[in-house]
Amino acid sequence: MALENLGKALNNALKKLARARTVDEAVIKEVVRDIQRALIMSDVNVRLVLELTKKIEKRALEEKLPPGISRKEHIIKIVYEELTNFLGKEAKPIEIRGKPTVLLMVGIQGSGKTTSVGKLARYLQKRGYRVGLVCADTWRPGAYHQLKQLAEPFGIEVFGNPEEKDAVKLAKEGVDYFRQKGVDVIIVDSAGRHKEEKGLIEEMKQISSAIKPHEVILVIDGTIGQQAYNQALAFKEATPIGSIIVTKLDGSAKGGGALSAVVATGAPIKFIGVGEKIDDLEPFDPKRFVSRLLGLGDIQGLLEKFEEASKEVKIEQDIEKFIRGKFNLRDMYTQLEAMQKMGPLKQILQMIPGLGYELPDDMVRMSEERLKKFKVIMDSMTKEELENPSIINYSRIKRIARGSGTSVRDVRELLEQYNQMKKFFKSMNRRKLAKMARKLGGMNFGGFGI
C-alpha cells in the first residue's frame, strides 16, 4: 500500500469527525489541523498544505448542506474532493500512439528506472502489446543483465550490448532493431548517471534527438519528498512530451510530498511504483488513490447520495416553476415519465400525513400507452409551443395532430391533462408542496419532479 502512514493519519482525522457528537466549528478546525499535520509529516510543502486546508475549512464552514446529507458526510466529501484536486484530479493514462510507440525512460541513478522499464513492459504486455526493451545504459556494469533478468521470464526481448560505450548509438540501434521486428512499443532505458537535473536533461536531449520518442518518462524516487519539485520542473520545461513515474511509494514516509510537488509543476504523473516486484506498478488515478488513501471503501456510495440530493434540489426548483406558473409541457413530460417509473402515485401521496389533497384520477392512472402517445404528440410541437402551451390554438392543434398521426381529440386530451396538473399544483400552497417534495425525495423517489 502506498503512503500507508499518511493514509492512517488522514483516516484517523476522519474517524474523529465520525465520532464527534455534533459537528461545530471547533470540530471542523480540529479535523483540519489533523489533516495539516498528516500532510506535513508526509513532507508536503507547508505553503501547499496551508492553501489546501484553508480551502477545506472554508468550504466545510460555509457551504450549504444539500438536503438529506449530514454535515459529516459533507465534510468527508469536501476532503475527498480537495485532496483529489490537489493530486491532479483526473487520471492521465499512457497512450500507445503509433506503431511502434517509442518511450524513453530517464531519471537519476537509483531512482528506479530499470525496474520501472520492466514493470511498464509487463503492464503493456498484459494489455496485449508486443514490447521490446533497449538497454542504453553504458555506464553501469550489469545494466543489460539486470534488465534481461527482469523481462525475459515474461518473454520480453531486451536489446543491448555490454561492449558498446556510446549510449546514443546503442539507443538508436536498439530502436531500429525492434522497428524491424514490428513490435508495438519500444521502451529505452537510459543510464542517468548524473546526480542533478542539468546532466540528466542533457542526456535526455541527446538520446531524444537520435530516437525521437513519442514520450519521455521521468522516473522520480518518491523518498526524496518535496525535493521532487525541482526535478519535475526542470524536466517539464525541457520537454513538452514528458510524463512522470514516482517510485518507492511503498514504505516511503515522504511520498505525499513527492506526489504533490510533481503535481504542482503541472507535469502529469502516469504511474506510481509501489514495490520491487514486476507487478508493483499502478496507473495513477487521483480519485482512486485518494479514496483508498482515506480508507473510504464506499466513497462511491457517498458520491451517489450527493447526486440524489442534487435531484432533490431540482424538485424544489420545479416547485418554484409550478408556483410561478412557469411549468410547461416539456416539464410535464419529464414528470409523467418519472411518475410512470415510480408506480401508483396516489399511494405515495396518501403516505404523506396532512397533505389533504387528492390527485385527480386521470393524473394517477397514466397508462404507458397514453404516455407514449403524449410523447409522439409533443414531438410534433414546436419549441415555442412546448415552452408556452397557451399559444396552442385550434389551427395549431390540427397541425400537431396531423404531424403526429394522432387526432384532434388526442391533442386536446394532452392539453387538458397539462392544465389539470397545473391547476392542481397551483391550488397547493408553497409549504405543502415543499413538504411533499421533501418526503418524496426522502423516500428515494428522486426524479419525480413535483
Which residues bind to ligand GDP, rule: CB under 6 A?
107, 109-115, 192, 219, 247-248, 250-251, 273-276, 280
Which is nearer to ligand GDP, 34 or 280 (by Cβ)?
280
- β-pairing, 101-106 vs 185-190, is parallel
Window 105 to 134, contacts with Mg ion (CB under 5 A): 113-114
Binding of Mg ion by 247 (CB under 5 A): no
**Please, what is the minimum distance in Å from the beta carbon of residue 444 to ligand GDP?**
44
**Please, what is the minimum distance in Å from the beta carbon of residue 224 to ligand GDP?**
13
Which is nearer to ligand GDP, 24 or 276 (by Cβ)?
276
How many chain residues are in contact with Mg ion, going by CB under 5 A? 2
For residues 225 and 155, give the distance between their C-alpha atoms in angstroms, rounded to a whole number. Answer: 35
Contact yes or no for 49/36 (Cβ under 8 A): yes
x-marked contacts with Mg ion along 167-206 as a string, rule CB under 5 A: ----------------------------------------
Which is nearer to ligand GDP, 7 or 107 (by Cβ)?
107
Which is nearer to Mg ion, 278 or 371 (by Cβ)?
278
* From ligand GDP, Mg ion, none, interface partner of 115 (C-beta below 5 to 8 A by class): ligand GDP
Residue with cell 468550504: 59
**Please, what is the minimum distance in Å from the beta carbon of residue 188 to ligand GDP?**
12
**Please, what is the minimum distance in Å from the beta carbon of residue 440 to ligand GDP?**
51
Which is nearer to Mg ion, 113 or 270 (by Cβ)?
113
* From Mg ion, ligand GDP, none, interface partner of 248 (C-beta below 5 to 8 A by class): ligand GDP
User: Which three cell numbers mark 394?
Assistant: 385550434
**Please, what is the minimum distance in Å from the beta carbon of residue 114 to Mg ion?**
3
**Please, what is the minimum distance in Å from the beta carbon of residue 106 to Mg ion?**
11
Residues binding Mg ion (CB under 5 A): 113-114
